[in-house]
Every structure is written in C-alpha cells, then in structure tokens.
Amino acid sequence: MKKYIALLLALVLTFAVAGCATQKPAETTTPATDAPATETPATETPATDSGVKVMTHDEYIAAELDAEVIVETYVQATQSWWEKDGQGVITVYAQSEDGAYFMHEMACSKEDAAKLTKGTKIRVTGHKTEWNGEIEIKDATFEFVDGDKFEAEAFDATALLGTDDLVKHQNEFVSFKGMTVEASKDADGNEAAFLYKWNGSGKEGDDLYFNASVGGKTYSFAVESYLCDKDSDVYKAVKALKVGDKIDMEGFLYWYEGSQPHITSVTPAK
C-alpha cells in the first residue's frame, strides 16, 4: 500500500513539473500591438526609403525657403573637397532632365567625394535656402542611387541674357555664343580684360572676373577657382583674353544679385 501511494505521488509530481516547463516566460511575451515576425522582414525595405517623398524640380522650386527638401539628381561638376569644423564638405553642381540644383558645402567624406563623377546619380536631403538670389540646398547629406547616368547638354542661353526668363535656368549647364570681351575696371578705375577677384584686389589662383557683351549690353562672368583652378584650361584662356575678342563660353548659371555664370570653357567664337 505504501509503495502504491509513493508511486502515485511520484507520478503527480512528474506531471506538475512537465506542465510548468511548457509555460511561456512572461518577459518574452510579444505585445499584442507588435506585427508578426513573418509579416514584413525588417530588411525588406531600407530605413532610408521609409516615407521618403522625392520632389520633382517644380516641387523643389515651389517649396518654401528653409523647408526640408529631398531630390534625386545627377552630378555635373564639383568644387574642391575640404574639411569644415571637422566635417568633410563639397559643393556640387547637379542637374536632372527637369532642372538643376546647387548644393553648397554638402557633407561628404573624402572617399565619397572621389566617386561624385559627372553623371553620377544621388539623392540629396537638405534645406532650400536663398543667398543673394542664388537658390541652393544647404545642410545637405546625400546617398548614391544605383541606376542610369545623365550628363547635361549645354543650353544656349545667349538670347535670354538680360531677360526675366534667364533665372528659370538657374544653375543649369548653359552656353553663351558670339560674345565680345569688354574692359573690366578695378577699384582704382584701371581697365583690363579680366580681374583677379571682383575688384582686382586678388592674385594668381584667385577667382577671375571678366565682362562680355552681346546686343549692345554687357554682362559679368566668373571663373570660380575652386571649380576650375589656375591650372585649368579655362583659367588660362581667360588670362589670355584681350578686349574686343569674340568668344563662346560654357558654364553653370550661378546667381549673385543677378546672373553671374561660373564659366568652365572659353573658346574663340565660331
């Protein structure tokens, strides 16, 4: 009888232990609000794509100043990479089929700067700002986008000089044809075919400024030394100019209190 009771107690204890072993610990319980693990794997959609609304160029232009903007576009040229407050930055001229962009001091590592070659597609996030008429993207970051490439053809903007329609092509890669080099005056009133800096106070290696006319009106142009340095063909070409020379030009339609294109090519007029 004692053996029977002992055996019965042993069996009851065994079932009790087994029952406890199959219970789910409270701390591992999944909250009812969590989605099932099999519904959408976390790796299916990159975090950078979540909720992203890439703007068209028209939407970018219509956005308020200081608004956050996200655009996809193609690198056309870059200024020199450098470090600012410990952060690598680079200024980028970019263009898509529907319009152009200027990213001022975009955050960028030195390694990535070398990959920002002409035609490369990037997605840029930053804030739309304005500086003396130039619409640009500041505080920008970017990522490379796999896919096609795009290299802009120069848009002939000669006939638009001096008109309200010129600004519609701001930051685009443009050309000016059949221009005549006019004298520029430095701060002391001395005339020359070009100046180092806008007032003639600079030296070799600084930005070059020069004037050229068409249709009886004269306009200002610049060679931005961080874009085209003193060893570039265009820098040397502008230094060789003489008042009265007939020239064709290409460059980016930068804006500073009016058009002030950053010229990348100067050749004798055809």
Any residues with CB less than 8 A from the CB of 188 and at least 6 apart, and which?
Answer: 200
Give the pLDDT confidence score for residue 49 in this predicted structure: 59
User: Using one digit for the tens of pLDDT, what is the confidence trace for 195-235?
Assistant: 999 999 999 999 999 999 999 999 999 999 999 999 999 99
Q: Between these two residues, 10 and 34, which has the higher pLDDT value? A: 10
Task: Give yes or no for residue 4 having a pLDDT over 90.
Answer: no
Q: Which two tokens stand for residue 97?
A: 């089929």
Nearest CA among 93, 43, 102 for reference residue 69: 102
Task: Give yes or no for residue 46 having a pLDDT over 50.
Answer: no
Task: Give yes or no for residue 22 having a pLDDT over 60.
Answer: no
Q: pLDDT tier at 52 (50, 70, 90 boundaries)?
A: confident
What percentage of the chain carries pLDDT values higher than 90? 80
Number of neighbouring beta carbons within 10 Å of residue 223: 27
Taken as a whole, the chain contains a residue count of 270
The Cα 218–Cα 211 span in angstroms is 6
Give the pLDDT confidence score for residue 7 in this predicted structure: 39
Q: pLDDT tier at 50 (50, 70, 90 boundaries)?
A: low
